[in-house]
Amino acid sequence: MALLRDSRHIGKIVITLDPAEPVPVRVPRPPVALDPEATYLVTGGLGGFGAATALWLARCGARRLALASRSGAAHPEAGAVLARIAEEGALATAYATDITDPEATRELVAAIDATGHPLRGVVNAAMVLDDVLDDATAVELDDERTHAVVSPKLDGTAHLDRLTRDRPLDFFVFYSSISALAGNLRQSIYAAGNLAGEAIIRRRRAAGLPGLAVQWCAISDTGYADRAGMVDTMRRAGFGELDSVTATRVLGELISDPDADVVMVGNTDWAQTAKLLPAVAAPRFTEMLPAPGAYPQDTDRNIPELVRSAAEPEALALVTEVLVSALAAVLHTAPERIDPDTRLDQLGLESLMAAELSSVLQRRLDCVVPTMELATAAGVRQLAPRLLGRVRRGV
């Protein structure tokens, strides 16, 4: 009814009385079986979380790893990464390849073929996300900045997909981000790039090919979030902590799970996250969120009692605050956008909304406000004193 009322639906709405589907609990699976004669490619694998992934592959039994990034062996972390993988008994080779370039990517795959150890798995962990881009809202972006962030995700994944379609692969993994799922105002192009990569994974799956996209939360011990000192902020925002060892262990379970295609992995406190990211309040997150305290400030404060014991100006301010916040919630807008002198119907309050507002006000102010009175009210400034009188009289 809420959807219908706000005209947020497309086409028909089907109401079923089926019990809610339980969120599936994934049973841990054995780590993925890797071919010691094959090569596994990790793009973005010479540093950060990509390097942690390469190390994990070596620990899982991969003996040959191709690690590609634009700077290749000159990547600041490359020396340490290759040495660490050698300690696991595997041979990692650094390739200087820009995967947004189709010809360079073709040469990379040809160079792997030339080793005689066929390519059997791909992880695309390449990304570009500099501080300037991270801070830009969509309107501040231009083509060049957009392309820099989207291309390693979209073009890079598309080239790798095209070049490996006719090969038997153990896995084809794309590293996405929670920002693709929950959105983030200042990461719109990063989210877009990740969604584009996920679309390629879905297309692979539809064609019967291996494909997995993982929407990671912030990784706490390596990679961009760690480098940029964002981990604390992310934890406070409800994203929890996910270290690279835990993350790659889950990756192993997902790779060997035939049902996993696009999966979010994180230790997320969704109720907390929803306060920060408005998109998390969308209906598709319903199963993840605790039963809502539906309206802002719907706390256990006894408002009628506070109103009755306060002096006139404070009492009026309190009633006005309750009225404005409830009205804003019903109208899906911010309280500061409610003009106190505009008729409620001109603010967009139609009959179903008025009924909802009436019931909220009854619950919070313990007084009856007929729907018609709301629908015809001249504005918050005119309505609030009337409500105050009723709260005081307890009617």
Ligand X SMILES: NC(=O)c1ccc[n+]([C@@H]2O[C@H](COP(=O)([O-])OP(=O)(O)OC[C@H]3O[C@@H](n4cnc5c(N)ncnc54)[C@H](OP(=O)(O)O)[C@@H]3O)[C@@H](O)[C@H]2O)c1
Which residues contact ligand X by CB under 6 A? 43-44, 46-50, 68-71, 75, 97-100, 125-128, 152, 156, 175, 177, 216, 218-219, 223-225
Q: How far apart are the first and last CA of the chain?
A: 29
CB of 203 to ligand X, least distance (A): 19
φ/ψ region of 44 (left if φ > 0, alpha if ψ in -120 to 50, else beta) reads left
d(CA 249, CA 28): 9
Residue with Cβ nearer ligand X (231 or 331): 231
Distances 335 to 270, 271, 318, 320, 349 between C-alpha atoms, Å: 24, 21, 14, 11, 14
Could you tell me if 176 and 215 are in contact, meaning their C-beta atoms sit under 8 angstroms apart?
yes
CB of 49 to ligand X, least distance (A): 3
Residue with Cβ nearer ligand X (178 or 349): 178
CB of 153 to ligand X, least distance (A): 7
Residue with Cβ nearer ligand X (181 or 354): 181
Phi then psi for residue 187, to 5 deg, are -130, 40
Residue with Cβ nearer ligand X (190 or 361): 190
Residue 220, number of CB atoms within 10 A of its CB: 22
SS3 137: coil
Residue 267, number of CB atoms within 10 A of its CB: 15
Residue with Cβ nearer ligand X (126 or 136): 126
DSSP letter (8 states) at residue 235: I
Residue with Cβ nearer ligand X (186 or 386): 186
CB of 41 to ligand X, least distance (A): 11
CB of 98 to ligand X, least distance (A): 4
CB of 213 to ligand X, least distance (A): 10
Look at the alpha carbons of 178, 183, 188, 189 in this order and tell me if their dihedral is positive or negative. Answer: positive
CB of 354 to ligand X, least distance (A): 44
Q: Per-residue DSSP letters for 193-232? A: HHHHHHHHHHHHHHTT---EEEEE--BSSSSHHHHTT-HH
